[in-house]
A and B are shown apart, each in its own frame.
Chain A
Amino acid sequence: MTELLHYPFTIVRYFVPEFIHRMRRSREVVEKPSPRQGIAMCDLLMPRYMRKGDLSIQDLVDVAVHTSKVDNQGIAQRVALEILMDVEESDSELPELDTDALLGLMAPRNEEKLKFEFGEENDVVQGEIKPLYDSEDDIFRKFSSKPDIGVGPGEDELIKQAIKEYKNRRDRATRLKLAEFLKLKLLNLAIQFKRKMEFLNRPIIRPYQYGDDPDDIDEDRSLENIFDQGKTADDVSYDDFFIRKKEKRKKAIIFILDISNTMFYQLEGLTSIHYSVMSLVPLIWSLQEERYGLVFYESNSHIHKELHEEQDIDEIVDGLLYLVTSTTGDVEKIFKGTQGTQTWGGTMPTMSLRWALETLRDAGDRTEKICFFFSDFVLDEPGVLTPEKAENYAIIGKMQDLGIHVVACVSPLAKGGVFAPYTENVLKMVQESGAEMIETEKPSDFLDRVQEFLEQI
């Protein structure tokens, strides 16, 4: 590396284009270098040469490294050394084609399965596989409760009956019809909610300040103000002008949805997953312009959408509605996978909460951070608080400390006769951890409460 090149022009003329060429061919480099990088390499070599009267091999490696983006600097160093040592390219060969994989790509796609093969699984809990709830043998049916569900005036009963009627039908066409119907009704509600939220972000009219964009000047209001004051052109100052601007604080939101076994227990024909999804769908649709992430959990956590990831909102809504229009058996098949070795259906929200905390913590100081946690909150055995379970409350508390608002979206079934002994203490502890408690009994009421909450923060 110490060998000096007193007449380096020939080697530079070879080295620079060869380096750019190899970096472009490299499979490891995602963003390929442009001709500008080659120009920058030559530009950076020139002062060194002028200063010393020669160039060393190290100089060539340095400019190759430093003109490459930080992520690529390791690769750049290797490629530069390979060129200078006259070594063949190490990673430009095309991979051998795997015929099985190709055949797999040509196989017919299973739409339902593909729809739910998102996210990642973590924290797999080994153990006995619990039988899933079977709606035909509903031991909870004898317990009476009065929860109701609805999406707006006059439609509550209609929706409720539709879900009850079609929920257990096995034919796919009926289910799709139900999903379509629900989507229509819920998105109507979402549109209303979104309009209300836009009203909250009404334009603020304030005097012009240096640094404002003159294009934002409200000419009518400004002229009115100037005339009202009786000012002439010579008397006018910049703060006589008004600018009209929508002041809106960006939000980063994580939606956590519990899909554990108890969420599928039904009382009077409805389950907690129904209540949660009916409230979650309009909420997520109306907040789609914010940055948001979505995670489902049971024994495992299934990250459906990362905060910065872009996904079609229709696909997300369809995926959520599938949870209420499909049988629990179908849902189990999707999340359990095909191997049959993973426990499905337990209640382990820790990984999801931790993911929400880490994601929101990194989401920016100027961002309003909110975590909506949809669950029936059957998290603990009554009177037993294991360290793992205690961590859930610690994370919720930590979120509050970091300025993250936690909204516990509680299924009305949580307070029902069966679940009450399990949830009484949990709900108390969640509330004591600082979470805002909102029931998901009726989507319209739920959205009103969310609106009140968003107005406050």
Chain B
Amino acid sequence: MSDGEELRFPELLQKSIVDGIRIENQVILKGQYDMAYRLLMDSIDSNVTPCLVGPPGVGKSLLARKVAEDTGRGFYEVFFDENMTPSRLIGAFDPALVVRRGRAVESFEPGSLMRAMVEGGLFVAHELNRATEFCQNSLIAPLEERHYHLYPFGMIKAHENFAFIATQNPIETSGTYRLSRVLVDRIGCWIRLTYPDRETEIEILRVNAPAFNMAEKTINKIYEIVNDTRQNSELEIPASPRAGIYLTRLVDRYMERFEDDNAAIRFFAPSVLSKEMRVRDPTKSVEGIINEILEKRLE
């Protein structure tokens, strides 16, 4: 990197700082999403901790973000994995500042959970069942009693607007830890999200097509292809609504390059849909199954 580029970066970074990320596309609150949204709102109003459970790409994070936006709360999120430590979650003392000032408030670098607690934000714990036991234990007091004991300051009481939403993925057992019963017991509301119904998903695809002018029949074709992956018993993990959105965007954006929508879908679908799909039978390939579906739907 040249000196010039290095000098520009701080300015660019300063320019890029925004108060909060706004959701760009309309969130479809229909069917299960309407129910889930209302349950999230009710849970937060009642200080009950909710957990959204569903496969990847069904909109768990988006719903949580929507709640933060609609309630005017700051948004803090953490993706749990085995490298996440309580120090990252809660915060830690800067040892250099401790040498100078001792364990004072100024020496403490807060983690995102502590920030959300003190500033009254919405904290979203993604993939909670990938949190280590050490991290799970750090969540118990903030979830139920809305406080955290931080040595040497003492008990930190959460702001009254502090709210907590967890998400977890039922299929993804990879690297998961068993949630401790004490933590499970403190999650008061379990909201299951599955793949949306036809009407809802088609509307989701439509609002995510950049030009909003995609032909109805093209959107229907994309939906049918995505839905066929969910009906296919050979697939362990089918295509998610997110994959459908990506396919819709690409087809919509580059349609003119192709002779018709079938050709565009044929071109993009294998690359877009196969990224997260998984077959049960190791001798079969995802690409083969996608091609079979495309042949059937685009004949």
Binding site for B on A (CB under 8 A): 31, 34, 36-37, 39-40, 43-44, 46-48, 62, 66-70, 73, 208, 210-214, 217, 222, 233-234, 236-238, 240-241, 250, 354, 357-358, 361-367, 391, 394-395, 398
B31 within 8 A of A: no
In the complex the two chains form, is B185's CB within 8 Å of A34's CB?
Answer: yes
In the complex the two chains form, is A233's CB within 8 Å of B100's CB?
Answer: yes
Stretch of B1-9, B82-90, B265-273 at the chain-chain interface: B82-90
Which chain B residue shows the least CB distance to A34?
B185
In the complex the two chains form, is B99's CB within 8 Å of A354's CB?
Answer: no
B203 within 8 A of A: no
B38-68 with Cβ < 8 A to chain A: 39, 41-43, 45-48, 53
B174-226 with Cβ < 8 A to chain A: 174-176, 181, 184-186, 188-192
B81 within 8 A of A: yes
Q: Chain A residues near B173: list those with CB within 8 A.
A: 362
Q: Chain B residues near A62: list those with CB within 8 A.
A: 39
In the complex the two chains form, is B92's CB within 8 Å of A67's CB?
Answer: no
Which chain B residue shows the least CB distance to A66?
B189
Q: Write the B163-174 contact mask toward A (1 if CB under 8 angstroms, else 0).
A: 000000010011
In the complex the two chains form, is A36's CB within 8 Å of B185's CB?
Answer: yes
Q: Given that A70-B53, A70-B170 are known contacts, is A211 also in contact with B189, CB under 8 Å in the complex?
A: no
Identify B175's interface contact among A238, A366, A391, CB under 8 A.
A366
Q: Given that A43-B46, A67-B189 are known contacts, is A214 also in contact with B175, CB under 8 Å in the complex?
A: no
Q: Given that A208-B95, A362-B173 are known contacts, is A43 also in contact with B188, CB under 8 Å in the complex?
A: yes
B72-103 with Cβ < 8 A to chain A: 81-83, 85-88, 92-100
Considering the complex of A and B, which 5 residue pairs feature the smallest CB-CB distances, nearest first?
A364-B175, A40-B188, A43-B46, A211-B88, A364-B174
Q: Give the shortest distance, in Å, between B134 (CB) and chain A (any CB).
A: 9
Q: Chain B residues near A36: list those with CB within 8 A.
A: 185-186, 188
In the complex the two chains form, is B282's CB within 8 Å of A363's CB?
Answer: no
Cα distance A236–B96 in the bound complex, in angstroms: 5
In the complex the two chains form, is A236's CB within 8 Å of B99's CB?
Answer: yes
Q: Give the shortest distance, in Å, between A233 (CB) and chain B (any CB).
A: 5
In the complex the two chains form, is B48's CB within 8 Å of A210's CB?
Answer: no
Binding site for A on B (CB under 8 A): 39, 41-43, 45-48, 53, 81-83, 85-88, 92-100, 109, 111, 170, 173-176, 181, 184-186, 188-192, 278, 282-283
Q: Chain B residues near A212: list those with CB within 8 A.
A: 85, 87, 92
Cα distance A68–B189 in the bound complex, in angstroms: 7
Identify A213's interface contact among B39, B41, B83, B87, CB under 8 A.
B87
Pairs across A and B, CB under 8 Å, 16 listed = A36-B188, A37-B185, A40-B188, A40-B189, A43-B48, A67-B48, A70-B170, A210-B88, A211-B88, A212-B92, A213-B92, A234-B100, A238-B94, A357-B282, A362-B174, A366-B82
Q: Chain A residues near B95: list those with CB within 8 A.
A: 208, 214, 217, 222, 238, 241
Identify A211's interface contact among B43, B92, B96, CB under 8 A.
B92
Cα distance A378–B93 in the bound complex, in angstroms: 61
Q: Give the shortest distance, in Å, between B30 (CB) and chain A (any CB).
A: 17
In the complex the two chains form, is B184's CB within 8 Å of A69's CB?
Answer: yes
In the complex the two chains form, is A73's CB within 8 Å of B190's CB?
Answer: yes
Q: Chain A residues near B111: list those with CB within 8 A.
A: 211
Instruction: List 4 additional contacts besides A39-B188, A66-B189, A70-B170; criterion CB under 8 Å.
Output: A44-B188, A67-B190, A237-B96, A365-B175
In the complex the two chains form, is A40's CB within 8 Å of B190's CB?
Answer: no
Cα distance A233–B96 in the bound complex, in angstroms: 8
Identify A66's interface contact among B82, B83, B97, B191, CB under 8 A.
B191
Cα distance A47–B43 in the bound complex, in angstroms: 9
